[in-house]
Amino acid sequence: MIKYQLKCECGEEFESWFSNSKEYDNLEKKNILSCQCGKSNNVCKKIMSPQISSRKELNSNQKTFLKIVNKKLNDLRKYVENNAEYVGEKFVTEARSIHYDKKNIRNIYGKATPEEKKELYEEGIETHTVPWLNKTDN
């Protein structure tokens, strides 16, 4: 995982996590990144200093921080699993069906490519990407 400090053309600054730098580059290239205010897709990385440490150098504060982050991400996963229906690869179809009143409103989660997420966004269908830890991740 990599964290970037981002800035929107509206002046909003925020942090976001990506699985790697290539993921950020792909999302930026496809103009899928959007500001937290929801008003713009013109988002860019800010210059930031790297925080590099080896596993040996992790101090107790960092270990505690990572433990808390993992717990919160696992709690988020459990919450989504308990309060939404998993539709897997059918996510885009189901989201459109719900949006266009062809199916009853319900909470769903599943899989969509960055391109599909962009299409949904352009149709006015709100979705969110959630960092998803495998159940075996600590």
Residues belonging to the chain: 138
Judged by DSSP in three states, 101 sits in coil
Per-residue pLDDT of the chain (138 residues; tens, 9 = 90+): 788 888 888 888 888 888 888 888 888 888 888 877 777 778 887 766 666 666 666 677 888 888 999 999 999 999 999 999 999 999 999 999 999 999 999 999 999 999 999 999 999 999 998 888 877 655
Q: What is the pLDDT of residue 57?
A: 65
* pLDDT of res. 110: 95
pLDDT at 14: 82
Sort 101 into a burial class: Cβ within 10 Å, 0-12 / 13-18 / 19+: exposed
Give pLDDT, residue 28.
83
Q: Collect contacts of 13-20 with beta carbons under 8 A, ≥24 apart.
A: 13/46, 17/131
What is residue 10's predicted lDDT score, i.e. its pLDDT?
A: 81
